[in-house]
Structure 1
Amino acid sequence: MLRQANRTLYIRIISVLSPLTLLLAWEFLARIHMIDVRLFSSPSLITSSFIPLLVSGELLYNTAVSVQRVLWGFLAGSIPGIFLGISMGLSPFARSAIEPMIAATYPIPKLALMPLILLIFGLGETSKIFTIGIGVFYLVVINTMAGVLTIDKIYLDVAKNFGASRKNFYLTVAFPGALPMIFAGLKLGMGMALILIVAAEMSAAKAGVGWMIWRAYDMFDIEQMFVALITLSCLGYLFSLILDRIESWVLPWKQEL
């Protein structure tokens, strides 16, 4: 038990020291002029720009706007993705009918669809949520289907022999059995959501972290651009921690491996 506690402590220390070491190296290289601060700035200059944005509330407001869009888009893509992925995993007919369409449309860059999405949904919130949702959907549905297909066939046979209904197949066999792969898809989907929110806010928005990046580019404000980029990376890390915590609660046995 003590050895496990020490191992956990070491892992946490390393997780803190690794980004701190990177920041110190970045600042050192900027101070000795090994990197051009006009293009790559430095942690100290970024911090001096970060504080006014934080105190004025501008950063918090734009972050809150982006988080709201990400969460709605994540839910809009993940919920139907889980349901359809389970259906495709359980039914060969559904899989043969839908999988070719997913395989054909998945490689299309989601950013290439932005003009069409804007034409259909306009410049409001719906277009941004749909852009995020469609990116999340593919990753979740593919991983969910793969998770169902990896379930040992004996569990499906036992459920069938006991006369399990379609609802029971979904809720007591397929969904629990596919949960590890579902969480893998959700984590990938959240990363995709943060990528797409930037693109969505760059093209048609008046607020958000992506809008901040585009405005900073127009003004050649490198420090503000890095503040927005670091905010996105912090959001990605925070969402990853939340999903990991939910996964450890839902799948406690996985943490013991």
Structure 2
Amino acid sequence: MSSLISAWFGRQNWFVYATGPLILLFVWWIAYFFTLVDKSLLPSPFATLFDTGVNIATGDVMNDFWFTFVRVFYSFAIAAIIGVPLGIVLGASDRVYRSVEFIIDFFRSTPATAMFPLFLLLFGLGDFSKIAVAAFAALLVVVFNVAYGVMNARQTRILAAKSMGASRMQIFVDVIFFETLPQTFIGLRTAVSMALVVIIVAEMFIGATDGLGHRIIDAQISYNLTDMYGSILVTGAMGYGLNVCFLVLEKYVIHWSGK
């Protein structure tokens, strides 16, 4: 994976990627320097970065980073393992999908945070309830995208395979499966972001003692603003890193997409 990421960024202009973070720091510094936001509510970006660097070097932040990452990984893995085959089965039959479309869309449209009380009642305050609610939210995204990809596979290629005498299994494995991959990756990329969001919120409000969500809310309560903003930056870096990993993997796995 590291070689793929290196290859991806190696062909790009690093200045282009540095522009966004530099603009963010510049706007933050302007807001701080000219007191556009009360300095008691917005610390200096450089003080925040220094404090965050120290916390990373000492391993303080990375401990919470690891707990959050593990929860996100388990949530996403459950969603992907169940969601991909379920989406394929549902998408293979338009009648079957339409019969459960309301259930999928209803819960997909329901904010995951509204499901917290239910999952707390079912699974208690432990890690399992956090992982379960995040997996549930991510699962619906995966199922929807995979089923959509199967139902919208290019009919010309399917008809071409049928005309050459391919069996239904051969058509599914050699045509539909590959046609579905671009939409499947979109679903997986969206699902991992959804899992991260739900896990962070769950760590804030569902009895967590570790994780970046707990760290952010704890720093806010204790008014340690540099730690709070720094933890938010670390959380954003995790989300951005996961997204980049999926973009790179998608580029190399389905390099033929759109052709």
TM range (shorter): 0.7 to 0.9
Instruction: Quote the offset at 1:170 in angstroms.
Output: 4.2
Question: 1:103-150 CA deviation, whole Å, 9 max, x = no partner?
Answer: 222222111111110111122221111111111111111111111122
SS of residue paired to 1:40:
coil
2:52–2:231 CA contact under 8 A, matched in 1? no
What is the correspondence of 1:88-237 to structure 2 with a 5 Å cutoff?
Answer: 88-159=90-161, 162=165, 164-166=167-169, 168-202=170-204, 203-237=206-240
Give the TM-score normalised by the residue count of structure 2. Answer: 0.87
Q: What SS class does the counterpart of residue 39 from structure 1 fall into?
A: coil
- CA distance 1:224–1:89, shift in 2 (3 Å): same
Cross-structure match for 1:26 = 28
Select the residue among 74, 77, 98 that pairs with 1:75. 77
SS in 1 for 2:64: helix
Amino acid at match of 1:213: I
Supply the distance in 1 between the matched residues of 2:83 and 2:70 (Cα, whole angstroms): 20
Evaluate the alpha carbon distance shift between residue 80 and residue 172 of structure 1 in structure 2; reply closer, same or farther with a 3 A threshold: farther
More helix per residue: 1 or 2? 1
Is 1:247 aligned to 2:215, yes or no? Answer: no
Shift of 1:158: 4.8
Provide the C-alpha distance between the structure 1 equivalents of 2:80 and 2:127, rounded to a whole number of angstroms: 18
When structure 1 is superposed on structure 2, of 217-226 and 25-34 the one drifting more is 25-34
Instruction: Tell me the matched-pair count.
Output: 247
Moved more, 65-74 or 98-107: 98-107
Q: Give the C-alpha shift of residue 165 in structure 1.
A: 4.7
Greater mean deviation of Cα atoms: 125-134 or 32-41: 32-41
* Separation of aligned partners in 1, 2:128 and 2:176: 32
Q: Any conservation in 2 of the 1:90–1:174 contact (CA below 8 Å)?
A: no
- Please give the alpha-carbon distance, in whole angstroms, between the structure 2 residues aligned to 1:175 and 1:79: 16
| 2:244 partner amino acid | L
CA offset digits 1:215-252 (Å, max 9, x no partner): 11221222111111101110111111110111111111
RMSD: 2.1
Unaligned stretches of 5+ residues in structure 2: 1-10
Aligned residue for 2:110, secondary structure, equals: coil
Shift of 1:169: 4.8
Matching of residue 51 in structure 1 with residue 53 in structure 2: yes
Deviations 1:58-98 (CA, angstroms, capped at 9, x unpaired): 10110011001101101111222211211121112321332
Percent of aligned pairs with the same residue?
A: 27
Q: Give a deviation string over 1:152-184, Cα, whole Å, max 9, x none.
A: 224334555635254x45433322111111111
* Cα pair distance change 1:163/1:91, threshold 3 Å: same
Residue 18 of structure 1, CA deviation: 2.1
The CA distance in 1 between the partners of 2:102 and 2:21, in whole Å, is 42
TM-score normalised by the chain length of structure 1 = 0.88
Structure 1 pair 189/178, CA: closer, same or farther in 2 (3 Å)? same
Distance of aligned partners of 1:171 and 1:206 in 2 relative to their CA distance in 1, 3 Å threshold: farther
Stretch deviating more after TM superposition (121-130 or 235-244): 121-130
> After alignment, is 154-163 or 141-150 more displaced?
154-163
Structure 1 103/250 Cα, relative in aligned 2: closer, same or farther at 3 Å?
same
